[in-house]
Amino acid sequence: MQSLILKSGRERSLINRHPWVFSGAVKNMPEAENGEIIKVFSNHNELLGYGFFSPHSQITCRVFEFTSVHITIDENFWKDKIKRAFELRKLIIDSSQTNIYRLLHAEGDFLPGVIIDVYSTVAVVQILIRGTENIKEFIFDALREIGIKFIYVKTKSNTQRLEEVTTPSSWVGEPHVMPIEAKENGIKFLVDVEKGQKTGFFIDQRENRKILGAFSRGKKILNTFSYSGGFSLYALANGAELVHSVDSSKYAIEMCDKNVEDNFINSNHQSFVEDVFEYLQKTEVDYDIMVLDPPAFAKSSKAVANAARGYKNLNLIALKKIKPGGLIFTFSCSQHIDRDLFRKIVFGAAADAKRNVRILRQFTQPDDHPINIFHPEGEYLKGLLLYIE
């Protein structure tokens, strides 16, 4: 096993257990292949841990084990990580009401480069780097051992290009017929892991959808960027007077309509295949509650300025339109827009709208998306519940 040696004075982040080694911190680059497991040493030849090598990335190494002693990394090592993650989910997920959850959250579960989401008996595995591609068979075996019947690998095209991951999006063994029927807090959802966004559903909004439900009785609610209707179904299940779902994707709205039909015999729900900004500008409905849950506007640090303008414009339109005494659930899932910046963006929109705005709650991701305390970058979802006079 080859070794990577850090420059003098660059050990502090590793000693503090941050799992990323950036190329500028490396003194001696190992002659290892992309994805190979390497040892990480300080400039004083002290072993700091083991990680996946990625020579063509700015993040040269992703550390998966911090240790000062030499260890054996075999099949059981990887299976144990998956099983520990599963034990945590059994503590925090009520399986009688919910079988949609994140089983493994990359650095949040001390296994960088892989995300695993579960929909009933199906696990969707996102392989993000070559290192986890090299151990995929151990991951699949671990999933089978905890009772997963179907496994689907979902690989992004940019991951294949940038990280040299060669595994295509495909079923491992027997495929499951699409869509999958699963449940979240007792509400039925149809999930298409093959064609759907992310791994098929936005699991990270589960607790925030539940909070929306608590405010929904008798209210007129607009769910923008609605995708397959997550927030809409919670509103309907909790007695909303009217629910409108808006998304630019025809496929997403078709899934949303199917989910509504499967859960409710009669409902005052209407969906619109439209650009959200255009819909907000022209609507004359006096909504009591608006949900603003857009896709990540900032895919990289270079996109932050444009993304900030996008978030501000979206919130400004909503703040001008919402009725007095109304609520806005506003979110950002852009990792490069941190909590403080997002709040400043919304502040700017509120100032321009010239309305009194109060923050009632601050939102984050649920417990099955744990944040490694040494890796704050893992906290990507942030949101605010606003009360507008």
Residues taking part in catalysis: 333
Count of CB atoms situated within 10 Å of the CB of 320: 15
SS3 332: strand
CA–CA distance, 193 with 179 (Å, rounded to integer): 8
Residue 236 and residue 223: Cα distance in Å, rounded? 11
Give dist(CA 233, CA 201) in Å, integer: 14
Range 343-346, long-range pairs (CB < 8 A, 24+ positions): 343/384, 345/308, 345/311, 345/312, 345/315, 346/311, 346/312, 346/315, 346/384, 346/386
- The torsion angles phi and psi of 141, rounded to 5 degrees, stand at -65, -40
**Can you say whether residue 171 is alpha, beta or left, with left for phi > 0 and alpha for psi between -120 and 50 degrees?**
beta
In 73-87, which positions are buried (b, 16+ CB within 10 angstroms) versus exposed (e)? Answer: eeeeebbebbeebbe
